Amino acid sequence: MGIGLKVVLFLLAILVIPFGGWVISALIFAYLILPPLLHRRRKGSSAENPRAKGRGPISAGRALGGVLLALSLVALASHGTLSPIVFGVPGLLLVFRPRFLSGISLRVKPVKDSILLRGRFLPFGWFALAEAKVSTRDVEGAVSGMNERVLLLSAPAPRIFLVFATSSISRSRAEEVTLKRMQVAARALRSLGVYLLPLDASGAFELPQLRAARVDLPGQNIQHSLSASDYGALCVEAVHGFVARFELYERSYGKGAPGSLLAKPNRRPGSSTTLRELLSAATQRTGTPKPDRYVEFLSSVAATEGETLGQRITQTVQASDSRLVLVASVGSPQVELSRAQLKAVTTIYE
């Protein structure tokens, strides 16, 4: 947000106070003050303790919940009738985040002709998944530098995904932010032999539909437990290479299962554990992805960065499935992609 807009909002907040617009003023002040404070605290926490075991700063959602609860108390003190409920209920939901709210927020639907999944009941929530296509034996070391959420699946074959979640009012903004983050991740990974393939919305929709129950780890030794336990999926978030939170899911999937593979992991490691250690222990159990023709295609697209689209994509043929096209890059075999995938690939490797 530019300084000009901040000044306009600040003046508006002051002007509406004499006319009884204290609620609007409070919300504007919270919007102007809280983000810089949270950003400063986040930077301070990272600098002071990069191994913070996942104890990060207060989230923006909970901060907003606190503001709404404060407004609810003010409204109650002012003998309001409806306003304490209007502010208090969403404030409680944002602060305490009960499981049912998480479940509702993770019900998604695919967006047509896109790589995005959109919240079914909370339409401002967006998700996208990109599969890590590997040409290296040290996939754990390559992926361990990621600050995005990592998802490992063991069946029907080992696969690794990066999960991108964002909030936005518009689809175009959500797509822009997501592709930018994918581009940053792709540039960091390609020199390490890993390439990102964004999933089409319909393909990505199949993954979160694989709902599964969470698994408890026996014992305190995480690496040993991961390599010995039976599970079908691992979801993990890291900060500066150290595991902040992770979650395990059973192999048996079903729509009635309580967990979602898009859910933010909640389990904290008992000690400082690097993401590389966790992934190495997990892949001993789940296995690692194998190179395929998409690796050759993506590496060729990445190598021709800066060229025109016509020079980078040398062949485009309609596939038997009308939703897909057969494409090839310089010296690569044909691969099947949706048009949304093709656009996303050429964007993140432009």
Q: Are 284 and 274 within 8 A, CB to CB?
A: no
pLDDT of 53-96, one tens digit each?
Answer: 334 445 555 666 667 767 766 666 666 667 666 666 676 666 65
Write out the two tokens for 78: 């002012």
Give the Å distances, CA to CA, from 242 to 51, 91, 212, 249. 6, 31, 26, 21
More confident residue, 49 or 350: 350
Separation between Cα atoms, residue 35 and residue 269, nearest integer Å: 28
| CA angle at 313 for the pair 137 and 193, rounded to the nearest 5° | 15
| End-of-domain residue from the set 103, 121, 139 | 103
Residue range of the domain that includes 99: 3-103
Domain boundary among 238, 268, 286: 286
What confidence tens digit (pLDDT) does each residue in 239-259 have? Answer: 999 999 998 888 766 555 667
Q: Are 252 and 115 members of one domain?
A: yes
13-34: pLDDT as tens digits:
656 656 666 667 677 767 766 6
- The pLDDT confidence band at residue 270, using thresholds 50, 70 and 90, is confident
- 199 and 50 assigned to the same domain: no
**Which pLDDT band, with edges at 50, 70 and 90, does 261 fall under?**
confident
Which residue shows structure tokens 């080992």?
Answer: 158
274/151 same-domain check: yes
Same-domain status, 312 and 343: yes
Same domain flag for 27 and 44: yes
Q: What pLDDT digit, counting tens, does each position of 289-341 carry?
A: 999 999 999 999 999 988 999 889 998 898 888 789 999 999 999 999 999 99
- CA angle, 289 then 154 then 111, to 5°: 85
242-253 vs 313-318, strand pairing mode:
unpaired
Size of the chain in residues: 350
Tokens in use for 109? 């639907």
Residues 255, 129: one domain? Answer: yes
pLDDT in tens, 38-49: 554 544 444 334
Q: What is the DSSP letter of 169?
A: S
Beta bridge partners, 151, equal: 161, 235
User: Between the ranges 4-18, 65-79, 146-160, 191-205, where is the mean pLDDT highest?
Assistant: 191-205
Residues 14 and 72 in one domain: yes
The HSE-up count of residue 98 (CA atoms within 13 Å, CB side) is 7
DSSP secondary structure code for residue 200 in this structure: P
For residues 222 and 270, membership in a common domain is answered with yes
Q: Which of 16-20, 149-153, 260-264 has the lowest mean pLDDT?
A: 16-20
| pLDDT single digits (tens) 162-182 | 999 998 889 999 999 999 999
Distance CA 107, CA 208 (A): 9
Sign of CA dihedral 30, 36, 42, 44: negative
Q: How many domains does the chain have?
A: 3
The better pLDDT of the pair 195, 168 is held by 195
Same domain, 137 and 45: no
Tell whether 214 and 236 lie within a shared domain.
Answer: yes
Query: What are φ and ψ of residue 155, in 5° steps?
Result: -130, 145
The whole-number pLDDT of residue 118 equals 92
Name the domain boundary from 103, 132, 153: 103
State whether 31 and 171 are in the same domain: no
Q: Are residues 221 and 255 in the same domain?
A: yes
Which residue matches tokens 């075999």?
333
Give how far Cα 127 sits from Cα of 11, 23, 263, Å.
36, 32, 11
Residue 97 has pLDDT above 80, yes or no: no
> What average pLDDT score do residues 96-103 get?
49
Write the DSSP symbol of residue 98: -
